[in-house]
Amino acid sequence: MRDRTLYTADWVLPISSAPIRDGAVMVQAGRIEFVGAASAVPVTPGAMRTVALGNAVLMPGLVNAHSHLELTLLRGFLEGLDFRDWLRTLTTVRRDLMTESVLLDASRAGIREALRNGITCLADTTDSGAPLTAMREYGVRGVGYLEVFGPDPVQCDGAIAQLTARVLEARAQDTPLVRVGVSPHAPYTVSRELFAATAALSRRESLPMAVHVAESPAEMLFVRDGAGPFADRLRARDIAVAPQAESPVALLEVTGVLAAQPLLIHVIQADDRDMARIADAGASIVHCPISNAKLGHGIAPLDRMLAHGIRTGLGTDSVASNDRMDLLGEARQATLFHSVRAGTPDALSAHAALALATRGGADALGLGSRIGTLDVGKDADLAAFPLDHDDAQPLFDPAVALVHALAGKVEATLVTVAGRELVVHGVLTQRDETLPLRVGAWRDRLQRWRQASTG
Ligand SMILES: [Zn+2]
């Protein structure tokens, strides 16, 4: 029998039950064996190591339900571009410069940032597959959704054959923590045929699926009216464009995508009928409030998602459209936007926001039986954050302090995934001393590329 570890903290937030003052979590063989008051820890045979976290909050590891780890090294590079130029520059730099080793380093840098921010699980959409390698290297939990593109129906068969080969090869390397999935990118980059074929692949092979959908007004115009900038771009490439459905979410319904119960990314341009479609299908949503705001796409109707009982988590999106991978910051932004929409204070409480960042994300990924709350029998994915920062005093409620006072100011002092300690005393246990140098060299290459491309 492997030894136990007992983590004690001034506050334990199980999420599934009320906060515990002077709490403890006992872990054995990667699983949670006890959650409760430190004074009530059961006496058990065998050795037990105690880790006293002190004035800190111990909670489930955060679930970042939407990231693009391979874009971590584009932080700040696409600043100020409108969405089409943002996408175009991203695609060009990706093609011209981002080799496998760059994509892998970007993914590593992203995971290190995730861990410092108490994130233990990532739902990552990826063109290259490098994030899957990096997730396995670091021991985090996650899904890597391999992206497929192809707005021209004639590309469908080739694209799906290539995706199928890639995903089946990647699946051979699945572990209990890291799984591969598929992601038909978005309505303006994927034909109806390719949506239908990818959904069929997802169902046939039981592959998790994620789709960017209902993100921008331009996407709505493209799907509903066959008009706008996305339509112009495709017509310029001699690809026929016609009105497809009354909304992007309706398009996913008629192409069979919703029936495969995907994770829907963004869902800003969606009305109550769309929410009913999503709820009826049993699909889930990841809400990315900061990326949505930064790109000027709007405030997603989180209130409607929750009213329809849709499984909903929080995501940062890439740091190219956010600059931070800080899920506590997303939780704070979610509460602020929710209050703005509702016109009342505290429409989404700090406790509810932390639940979205943990249990909500876990449920949205179909992992709710294993992670997302501190409950006996679940995997020990834990994060602890310090509460002794001066800027959080006086402190009455640890959830309010974490979401409203400390988000963006504190880093995790402890992170475990399935019981394995990945951050100890605020330091990552996996070292990579030369990564900052490699990132610096990459920055110089990017800078030269920009100078060359702007003449
Ligand atoms: Zn995204």
Q: Look up the pTM and report it.
A: 0.97
Q: Report the separation in Å between the CA atom of 67 and the middle of ligand 1, taken as the mean of its atom positions.
A: 6
CATH number for the domain running over 62-364: 3.20.20.140
Beta bridge partners, 386, equal 56
How is residue 320 written in tokens? 């190219």
Write out the two tokens for 332. 């704070």
Distance 330 CA to ligand 1 centre (A): 15
Amino acid letter, residue 319: V
Distance CA 305, CA 410 (A): 30
Q: Are 304 and 356 in contact (CB under 8 A)?
A: no
For ligand 1, the distance from its centroid to the CA atom of residue 187, given in whole angstroms, is: 13
pLDDT-flagged residues of the chain (< 70):
1-2, 455
Whole-angstrom CA distances from 258 to 68, 117, 252, 398 are 22, 32, 6, 38
408 Cα–ligand 1 center, Å:
21
Rounded (5°) CA angle 65-364-403: 55
What residue spans in the chain does CATH classification 3.20.20.140 cover?
62-364
Residue 10 is given by DSSP the state E
pLDDT digits (tens, 9 = 90+) for 365-391: 999 999 999 999 999 999 999 999 999
Cα distance from N-terminal residue to C-terminal residue, the chain: 65
Whole-number Å distance, alpha carbon 407 to ligand 1 midpoint, is 22
- Which helix H or strand E contains 26, and what residues bound it? strand 20-28
262 CA to centre of ligand 1 in angstroms: 14
Residues forming CATH 2.30.40.10 domain(s) in the chain: 4-60+378-428
Q: How far apart are CA 377 and CA 400, in angstroms?
A: 28
Integer Rg of the chain from CA:
22
Phi-psi region for residue 378, left (φ > 0), alpha (ψ -120 to 50) or beta?
A: beta
Q: How far is the CA of 243 from the centre of ligand 1 (A)?
A: 24
Query: Residue 363 has what pLDDT?
Result: 98
**CA of residue 149 to ligand 1 center, whole Å:** 14
What is the CA(46)–ligand 1 centre distance, in A? 47
Task: Produce one character per residue of 214-228: b if its CB has 16 or more CB atoms within 10 Å, e if not.
Answer: bbbebbbbbbbebeb
H runs (alpha helix) in 41-99: 83-97
Helix (H, G, I), strand (E, B) or coil at 442: helix
Which numeric CATH code is attached to 4-60+378-428?
2.30.40.10
For residue 66, how far is its CA from the centre of ligand 1 (angstroms)? Answer: 7
pLDDT digits (tens, 9 = 90+) for 130-189: 999 999 999 999 999 999 999 999 999 999 999 999 999 999 999 999 999 999 999 999
List all residues 6 or more positions away from 245 whose beta carbon is below 8 Å from its beta carbon. 223, 224, 251, 253, 254
Distance CA 143, CA 67 (A): 10
- Measured in Å, residue 183 CA sits from the centre of ligand 1 at 11
Query: How far, in Å, from the CA of 428 to the mean position of ligand 1?
Result: 26
- On whether the CB atoms of residues 193 and 153 are closer than 8 A, the answer is yes
How many whole angstroms from 75 Cα to the centroid of ligand 1? 14
Distance 181 CA to ligand 1 centre (A): 15
Cα(317) to centroid(ligand 1), Å: 5
- In angstroms, what is the span from residue 432 Cα to ligand 1's centroid? 27
Exposed e or buried b per residue across 86-105, where buried means at least 16 C-beta atoms within 10 angstroms of its C-beta:
bbebbeebbeeebeeebbbb
Return the pLDDT at 2: 62
Contact (Cβ atoms closer than 8 angstroms) between residue 307 and residue 265:
no
CA of 8 to the centre of ligand 1 (A): 37
Q: Write the CB contacts of 186 (distance below 8 Å, at least 6 apart in sequence).
A: 211, 212, 213, 215, 219
CA of 39 to the centre of ligand 1 (A): 45
* Residue 234 backbone phi and psi in degrees, to 5: -70, -40
Q: How far is the CA of 290 from the centre of ligand 1 (A)?
A: 12
Alpha carbon of 318 to ligand 1 centroid (Å): 6
Residue type, 204: R
Judge contact between 51 and 8, C-beta under 8 A. Answer: yes
State in Å: Cα 265 to ligand 1 middle. Answer: 7
Helical H segments across 300-434, by residue range: 302-307, 327-342, 350-355, 361-364, 398-400
